[in-house]
Amino acid sequence: MSDGSTPRRKPSAADRTVEGPVLSSALAALLDEVHAHAGAVYLLAPGRPVLEMAVMAGLPRTFAAPWERIGLNAPFPLAHAVRDRQLVWIGGEEEMARRYPRTSVVVPYPFAMAALPLVTGQTVHGAVFVLWPASHPPELSDWERTRLTASCDRLARQLEQAAAENRPVRPGPDLLALPSADEAAGVPDPAEAARLVARLPYGLIALDPHGRVSCANPAAAELIGLPMDKLLGAPLWTSVPWLNDPVYEERYRAALVSQRVISFVALRPPGHWLSFRMYPSTTGLSVRISRTRTEEEPSRDAPEPGAQRTGLMTISHVLNLAGGLTEAVSVQDVVRLIADEIAPALGSQALMVLGSQSGRLHVLGHRGYQDPRVVEMFDGIPLSAPTPGSHALTKGVPAFFGSRQQLERLYPGCLALPDGFAAWAYLPLIASGRPVGVCVLCYAEPHHFSANERAVLTSLGGLMAQALERARLYDAKHRLAHGLQQALLPHSLPRLPGFDAAGRYLPATQHMEIGGDFYDLVATPPTAPAVIGDVQGHNVTAAGLMGQLRTAVRAYTTVGQEPGEVMRSTNRLLMDLGVELFASCLYLRLDPASRSAVMSRAGHPPPLLRLPDGRVRVLDLAGGPLLGIDAAAAYTTTRIGLAPGSVLLLYTDGLVESPGTDIEDAVAALGRRLGEVGDAPPDELADLLVQRCMEARERVDDVALLLLRMRGDG
């Protein structure tokens, strides 16, 4: 009993849902604790790298349809949080557009979001995302972070305990609305409230979170032009024909997600413009409807009369997945994206992408097959064979098989296919009117392909076809560029008396993967000339000119020209070619007998010399301008000594230059790295020095490197 001295605690969402399933209760408590208006709990699919939505609160589940299933490699905040095992915070729509542009295309609304993993130790159980209205500050407060983390840790431990006790946690009921206790306070008598609303001269409508009309006054029915019984209980977008358009439904979604007041103007035929103003809360929306005071032009977003009506969630799916396909570069990128994002979103457990060549099917990539020998059975099948894959490719018509019985009835020859799946979708990939392949989606259980799902899959097939055609063209260009580059660079370096050598070349990633960086080492006893250079540009012209310069340097070396004269002759050649491209170059002649090298430099980064004791010197040699600028330029030479055990490093600027980094600081950092690892064998040392560039996702410039180590037996 209470003596009345302790104030009553305000009931929380957790109190109201404590009797419900564990996931629903935990999510309700979390949203109430951090004052968020929506969120969802995902569980990791058994044996698959896919997060599946288990329960959602505050918004209709259809709002998150593109993310019902999320591959762990998908560019989505929830997958990012699981991969990095940490909270991911999105402070607003601008940050969402910058970090996750594909997601912002589908939900271009102002809101704040936190995504957290459900992890115990090294085990991932799932993930949670939480949404706040657009009014939330752009930064997450410390108390919010603490409560979010504590709640997710608590739920993760519950999931771990349930798994240990072999008690599967099943998805709970969605919590569409979580009204606060304050909303029930001070509510007037229902009859008086109805009279109050009926007296108003403008229309008032109450929508539940699904968009269904739960209440309306007579003025609203009169303005919309429907009797009250036709209006109540139905979604506004389906009961009112002239509002049945994704443009208007999108306004309702924007209001619920952002929790901001949203307005729009719509045309009620034949010529009455009505203004709609939506006031959202976590329990639904109140809509005020009035006539516009002046004749207004239709919104540029309004549909044309007779325009085709398309389901908004279909558009959301296609927008989200199409954004990823535009980012795919190679064929394997396309296969990887389909496997990581499209297949999980569609509930598929495996896939295969087939192409055609010389009248036969060929496997371009696959995921999810336990036995690779099953995939090999598809490779080389003639296009004339009676198989669903060949028919889909040659006829350009998709095929859907909801069960093995359906497949076997039409294709008895597939009886012996031991792939272990129970349903299939064969999507022809048609680009520019030409078949480029087939995508096979496989399902572990019998699957009913609804008309809407077939339409989505067929649309995605067209997008995948465009991506695959671009990727195959890119792969062909890449093979051409790679072959040309390899032909222009030395296949191997000669073994020199007294020296060990190693070379590396990395192409830029933002162009055709071909460029003008080159190196060469020539054995002309008793000396050994070496050269490294960088022709301006990253294209076939630069590569062709690079090949000419490398050949010219070899020729001038063979006829016995001194280093300074080799540079002058090469400079004149470049001027005579008239290609209007410049080149940096560093030429040297090694002399094992005297343990020295004579160098000449033309605008090239300075070489580094690592002494036997580990100290590194930057050899800022005198020289001349870039090749191709001044036909009369002279190039001085410098002789340096090379003690046994010393290492000479020649490189192009791609190894040290990066945006926002001072070139001198970068050279100094390279020198420190050379000092630390310079005792490694030449090949291993070369790999260590280019490791950072190899790991970079994007290289804006080519990288060439040539290492020369003086042995003690020279």
Q: What is the pLDDT of residue 3?
A: 40
For residue 417, the model assigns a pLDDT of: 63
* 403: pLDDT strictly greater than 80: yes
d(CA 164, CA 294): 67
pLDDT at 666 over 60: yes
Between 392-396, 447-451, 663-667, the lowest mean confidence (pLDDT) is in: 447-451
Output the six-digit token pair for 426.
């064969």
* Tokens describing residue 201: 């001269």
**Under a CB-based contact definition with an 8 Å cutoff, are residues 491 and 349 in contact?**
no
> Percent of the chain at pLDDT above 90?
28
pLDDT digits (tens, 9 = 90+) for 520-555: 998 888 888 999 988 887 666 777 788 888 888 888
pLDDT-based confidence at residue 317 (cuts at 50, 70, 90): low
Give the model's confidence band at 178: pLDDT under 50 very low, under 70 low, under 90 confident, else very high: low
pLDDT digits (tens, 9 = 90+) for 214-263: 888 888 888 988 888 888 888 888 888 888 877 788 788 888 888 889 88
pLDDT number for residue 481: 63
pLDDT value at position 323?
67
pTM (predicted TM-score) = 0.50
pLDDT at 14: 37
**pLDDT confidence of residue 536:** 80
- Using an 8 Å Cβ cutoff, are 217 and 287 in contact? no
Longest dimension (CA), the chain: 109
Q: What is the mean pLDDT of the segment spanning 412-437?
A: 79
Q: What is the DSSP letter of 235?
A: B
Find out whether 334 and 328 touch, Cβ atoms under 8 Å. Answer: yes
- Check residues 304 and 219 and name the one with the higher pLDDT: 219
Helix (H) or strand (E) holding 636: none
Least confident of 282-286, 484-488, 569-573, 601-605: 484-488
Q: Could you give the 3-state DSSP secondary structure of residue 171? A: coil
147 pLDDT higher than 80: yes
Which whole number is the average pLDDT over 273-294? Answer: 85
Residue 605, pLDDT score: 92
Terminal C-alpha separation, the chain? 98
| Phi, psi (deg, nearest 5) at residue 677 | -115, 10
| pLDDT higher than 60, residue 625 | yes
Alpha carbon 701 to its chain's center? 23
Amino acid in the structure at residue 341? E
For residues 478 and 485, what is the distance between their CA atoms, to the nearest angstrom?
Answer: 10
Cβ neighbours for 289, distance < 8 A, ≥ 6 positions apart? 202, 203, 204, 205, 219, 220, 223, 224, 274, 275, 276
Task: Give residue 190's pLDDT.
Answer: 67
pLDDT of 546: 82
Between 330 and 570, the more confident residue is 570
pLDDT score for 310: 39
- Structure-block tokens of residue 331: 């064929």
Alpha-carbon torsion 486, 490, 495, 500, what sign?
Answer: negative
Q: At what angle are helices 312-327 and 451-488 packed, to 10 degrees?
A: 10
Instruction: Give the pLDDT score at 440.
Output: 92
Mean pLDDT of 179-208: 68
Q: Which of 561, 550, 543 is nearest to 521 (CA)?
A: 550
Confidence of residue 109 (pLDDT cuts 50, 70, 90): confident
Mean pLDDT, residues 263-277 taken together: 87
Buried b (16+ CB within 10 A) or exposed e, 15-34: ebbeebbbbbbbbbbbbbbb
